[in-house]
Amino acid sequence: MVELVLPNDANTMGNVLGGRVLHWIDLAAAIVAHRHSRTEAVTASMDEVSFLGPIRVGQLAVIAARMTFVGRSSMEIRVDVQSEDLLSGERRQTSTAYLTFVAVDKAGQPTEVPPLLYETEEEKREARAAACGGAVPAALDKLEKTSSRSRRRMGQPGWSCYTRRPS
């Protein structure tokens, strides 16, 4: 998904508003969740998001989203945001976010989603990290920083919690 940053998207310094970026992140993740589940899906949570650099008026925000983990009804989606300068073509990573969407039926109740097929080692590693809440056992003291969804996942059987979520 690509957005051209216009003055209405920006603060008084000419940088995109954080809330606008969060909206785009949510939209990109929602599209991935809907395409995978082919049901209604709602945002259940979003992990901590940092804004590493500005995206200026007249630049592009390039938003890439992919699914990293599927539970029974929940789906974790990673979203990467980059700025792209239209004149130089230079791209810079500005944000990474992990969101959890839950597939729901017409009554708004969680409903099962198809499994996710992991093809590469990187995908498997990321899924293990998601299943373990992004924490390694030695870092359990940092668990307060993980989402409630992530905390719930810590006890999930079938996953070895030894890998750290990639940065």
Ligand X SMILES: CC(C)(COP(=O)(O)OP(=O)(O)OC[C@H]1O[C@@H](n2cnc3c(N)ncnc32)[C@H](O)[C@@H]1OP(=O)(O)O)[C@@H](O)C(=O)NCCC(=O)NCCS
| 134 and 166 Cβ atoms separated by less than 8 Å | no
Complex with ligand X: residue 124 or 151, whichever CB lies closer: 151
Q: How far is the CB of 92 from ligand X (least distance, A)?
A: 29
Taking the C-alpha atoms of residue 80 and residue 78, their distance in angstroms, rounded to an integer, is: 7
Q: CB of residue 33 vs ligand X: minimum separation in angstroms?
A: 10
- Cβ nearer to ligand X, comparing 38 with 72: 72
Query: What is the closest distance, in whole angstroms, from the C-beta atom of residue 36 to ligand X in the complex?
Result: 13
Phi first, then psi: what are they for 55, rounded to 5°? Answer: -115, 120
Q: Considering beta carbons, is residue 71 or 134 the nearer one to ligand X?
A: 71
Residues that bind ligand X (CB under 6 A): 42-45, 71-74, 100, 102, 104, 108, 110, 147-149, 152
Decide: 76 and 118 in contact? Cβ < 8 Å: no
Q: How far apart are the first and last CA of the chain?
A: 21
